[in-house]
Structure 1
Amino acid sequence: MDLPTLWFAAIAVLWIGYFVLEGFDFGVGILLPFLGKTNTDRRVMINAIGPVWDGNEVWVLTAGGAMFAAFPAWYASLFSGFYLPLFLVLLALIVRGVAFEYRGKVDSVQWRARWDQAIFWGSAIPALLWGVAFANIVRGVPMDADHIVTANLLDLLNPYALLGGLTTLSLFTLHGAMFLSLKTGGEVRLQARRAVPMIALVAVPAAAGFLLWTQVSYGTTWTLPLVAIAALTLVAAVALALRGREGWSFTATATTIAVATVVLFGSLFPNVLPSTTNPAYSLTVENAASADYTLSVMTWVAVIFLPVVLGYQSWSYWVFRKRITREHIEPTLVPAGRPGDA
């Protein structure tokens, strides 16, 4: 395997890590107004991801940095052509992070309600737009000989991309429900388990349709069994959740997300951004890559520091592995004359 191909695979792994880990963060945020019937329950949900959500976001920063260093032409064309959706993703992530920090700063029901809405939208918008963006990357975009993307917003909102957005939105929501049933106790856990069948009514057909469309239109021979694996693990995840096998059901949704991401990158290769204007204008692993010296230095840096990062993140998950329940939440004191919901 040459260095450009190696780094294409490495970037795929980084996006897999981001979607699997940040996926359940997004799911918890999306479910916050639906499962959190009281302020205490909403605090249980937020505390379940509190120690890890910011660490999970490091994966997307690393993936973006790796794309910039390893494939600068891909990074330039992608971020200029997808400027609006990526700007909305960035804005949503900023608002979401601020909401986590500021939600408890003022002892007011209205204050917390506004930040809860910010958490919901800050989770739902990226969950939707990441699917739209990656579907368009696989499908290809109008791009000229200078690798300038000429697509407008309507070009990006095509049926295949919208189905991709619905797939990531529903799949991350299901992943979040699995995580809550595994990580919390009491009423939140029960609500999360009850939500699984309803979410699955959207997630399973959406994911199956999107993966089948991807395979038929853009897939290769070796991605076909991966599509089948992703579909089977998704169905297994729902079945395991209904039987109360929470650890295995969460593992199954994580596997579905990981394998589906491999299908997308496998369908894309050897392109990194296909051109629908003329296939000759497409960016490929070879013509978009940095020099071998740059890729060699990046490889050594990754070999040295990646185990440290993985070790630290694994340790943090182990430290905060216990379930969160209402008993772990201190009561919220509401000023006199202002009814609370804690």
Structure 2
Amino acid sequence: MIPISNLEFGWFTIFVILLTGYAILDGFDLGVGMLHLFAKKDSERRVMLNSIGPVWDGNEVWLVTAGGALFAGFPDIYATMLSAFYIPVMALLSALIFRAVAIEFRSKEKMAWWRWTWDVAFALGSFLIALILGVALGNLIRGIQLDQYKEFTGELQDLFHPYALLVGFLAVSLFLMHGAIYILMKTEGELHDKMRLRAVPCIIIFIICYATTTMATLIYMPHMIEAFQHRPFFFLIAIINLLAVANIPREINLGRDVRAFISSCVNIICLLALYAIGTYPNVIRSIDQPDQLSLTIYNSASSPLTLKILFVIAMVGVPLVISYTIAIYYIFRGKVKIDPHSY
């Protein structure tokens, strides 16, 4: 029989894996969306849009699955999180909807104003999704006001703390860089050369945000490094993270776009692993009384029977999602070609 603590830890691990899958896959979608508006020619924008055309909706499945995993495995955390972040969640859903509509409607008409309107919606929606997710993550690291009934007692403006905003802009810069590298892999010719130039400032902006957020975390969020003090081998993840970040501009300069993209993926994996290790076992940290009022994977989990059933479902569902994702990316591998049925 699996011990209860292992069930809770296992389901938390599955949740983090799903969240990481979303960040890697939809992350470059969001980056392409934000960079889309900087393309001058309509043909270039179409190529960028079609680079994610076959995969963007499938990538969002990972976010839906992660939300379902949180709801099923940790219902108290799900309820408190949606209550605390009610307005940001509504804004996130609106951005997701408008972004999807923009992708589908943009090429339905050829009028310049029509395409420009949906281009702006696509870029703005992508930016807001990245920013909101980053700000939410920043608040989970910093902590929010909770009472003994697991209810959020703060105000909306409390969520826009400078540290939370800093993490939000880190997420934006991360996805910008990730998207720029993805476009390099999927394009050729003049657009590829232009994107190689645009990738450089994206990388620089990310490195600045990365260094600033790291310093702010070390100085103002000391609880995030407690696990590393007790288990120094966790520092290996931080070292791998630094090496992955350093390798990205190196591979770009050498023209090895695929390797740069792999390094960007490793960077995302390490960042979310560091987040999970630093906050564990808390998912929603109480800023006032973290030891008494925080919602952890142990005091907010579903019953052992529910978790066991969920594990059975996950053992079937997760491999299917992974297999589907691999198949789609294999089918649509290679450079983007525009045809009459393209976006």
TM over 0.5: yes
Cα distance in 2 between the residues matched to 1:226 and 1:259: 6
Task: For residue 305 of structure 1, report the CA deviation from its aligned partner.
Answer: 2.1
Aligned to 2:289: 278
Cα distance in 1 between the residues matched to 2:22 and 2:218: 23
Task: For residue 258 of structure 1, report the CA deviation from its aligned partner.
Answer: 1.2
The answer (yes or no) to whether the contact 1:30–1:124 under 8 Å persists in 2 is yes
Write out aligned runs for 1:1-342 (5 A): 2-34=6-38, 36-215=39-218, 217=222, 218-219=224-225, 220-221=227-228, 222=231, 223-279=234-290, 280-325=292-337, 328-330=338-340
Cα distance in 2 between the residues matched to 1:331 and 1:290: 47
Cα distance in 2 between the residues matched to 1:57 and 1:188: 27
Cα distance in 1 between the residues matched to 2:9 and 2:281: 8
Task: For residue 212 of structure 1, report the CA deviation from its aligned partner.
Answer: 4.0
Letter in 2 for 1:111: W
Cα distance in 2 between the residues matched to 1:293 and 1:213: 41
Task: For residue 331 of structure 1, report the CA deviation from its aligned partner.
Answer: 11
Cα distance in 1 between the residues matched to 2:300 and 2:28: 32
What SS does structure 2 have at the residue aligned with 1:272? strand
Cα distance in 2 between the residues matched to 1:312 and 1:225: 32
TM-score (norm 1): 0.93
Cα distance in 2 between the residues matched to 1:251 and 1:230: 12
Letter in 2 for 1:283: L
User: Which digits, 9 at most, give the CA deviation of each residue in 1:7-66, with x for residues without a partner?
Assistant: 1111000100000111000000000011x2211110000000000000000000000000
Number of residue equivalences: 329
What SS does structure 1 have at the residue aligned with 2:152? coil
Letter in 2 for 1:17: G
The answer (yes or no) to whether the contact 1:24–1:176 under 8 Å persists in 2 is yes
Letter in 2 for 1:208: A
Letter in 2 for 1:274: R
User: Which digits, 9 at most, give the CA deviation of each residue in 1:194-247, with x for residues without a partner?
Assistant: 112111221002112223433552122154332232222112112211221100
Task: For residue 107 of structure 1, report the CA deviation from its aligned partner.
Answer: 2.1
Letter in 2 for 1:153: L
* 1:329–1:42 CA distance, 2 compared to 1 (3 A): farther
Unpaired stretches in structure 1, ≥5 consecutive residues: 333-342
Cα distance in 2 between the residues matched to 1:183 and 1:214: 35
Identity %: 37
Task: For residue 185 of structure 1, report the CA deviation from its aligned partner.
Answer: 1.3
Task: For residue 151 of structure 1, report the CA deviation from its aligned partner.
Answer: 2.1
Cα distance in 1 between the residues matched to 2:330 and 2:215: 37
What SS does structure 1 have at the residue aligned with 2:273? helix
Unpaired stretches in structure 2, ≥5 consecutive residues: none
Task: For residue 296 of structure 1, report the CA deviation from its aligned partner.
Answer: 0.4
Cα distance in 2 between the residues matched to 1:215 and 1:226: 16
